[in-house]
Amino acid sequence: MFLICQPAHAEISEASFNETLTALQEIYRPKLLTDLGLNLHFESFWIRRSMIVSSQARKIGDEAVVFIDGELAQKSQINRAAFILTVCHEFGHIYNDKPGELRLKKEGLADYWAAGCAAEFFGQNPTDPVDSVPTFLIEKCQTDGNISMTACLQVASGIHSYAKFNGIDLSKGIDTRLNDRVSNSHLHPRPLCRVETFIAGLFGAEKPACIFKTGASKDPMPARSLVN
């Protein structure tokens, strides 16, 4: 709960927020049009407009509308790569959501897809990560990655940022055994499951079973979600 009370001092500036959305738009506007026949339209607000969600995707006619507000970008623990994962998660809904599917599965698939999307973004916009990346992820980028090292490390730094935001320590690796025991009772998979899913998506591994697990959660403190 401390995360909610945390003072918001911007790590991402308003200018960077807008520039990042423009850069994402340059890649994904033509892709969405070619792949799905949809026109991408961002509804972005630096100042939060909704008390319920901070990002959302909808298909309206031939438009893919992605709502993003600046609240998350203004959290000190959220770096630019994690913000890009957020927007990519919304693109993931546009690409993957099927009517009648469980919300939880939709969220898991959007996370998995988001990691590849973020890697594609950094492949086209190569910059060095500004944040530390856990050793096990650096090693995975060196041995398992089929993308450039710079792009892999950037996405890994975004996953690390998301993990820290949710109080998950990745310094000694990721222990996913909890994901095997605990089901999800919320609309989103639990944060540890989401971290496992982002990592699987980044390295093209199998989708983790935890994104399909529903039922009562034994987690005493459901962490807040980064993306919707």
- Site of interaction with Zn ion (CB under 5 A): 107, 110, 228
The smaller minimum CB distance to Zn ion, of residues 41 and 136, is found at 41
Rounded to whole angstroms, what are the CA distances from 4 to 7, 75, 210?
8, 10, 26
Tell me whether strands 39-45 and 55-60 are parallel, antiparallel or unpaired. unpaired
Give least dist CB 85 to Zn ion, A: 11
Give least dist CB 72 to Zn ion, A: 13
Give least dist CB 53 to Zn ion, A: 9
The smaller minimum CB distance to Zn ion, of residues 92 and 145, is found at 92
Give least dist CB 110 to Zn ion, A: 5
Give least dist CB 214 to Zn ion, A: 16
In a 13 Å sphere around the CA of 227, the CA atoms on its Cβ side amount to: 33
The smaller minimum CB distance to Zn ion, of residues 21 and 114, is found at 114
Give least dist CB 202 to Zn ion, A: 18
Q: What is the largest CA-CA distance in the chain?
A: 47
The smaller minimum CB distance to Zn ion, of residues 157 and 228, is found at 228
The smaller minimum CB distance to Zn ion, of residues 105 and 123, is found at 105
The smaller minimum CB distance to Zn ion, of residues 70 and 129, is found at 70
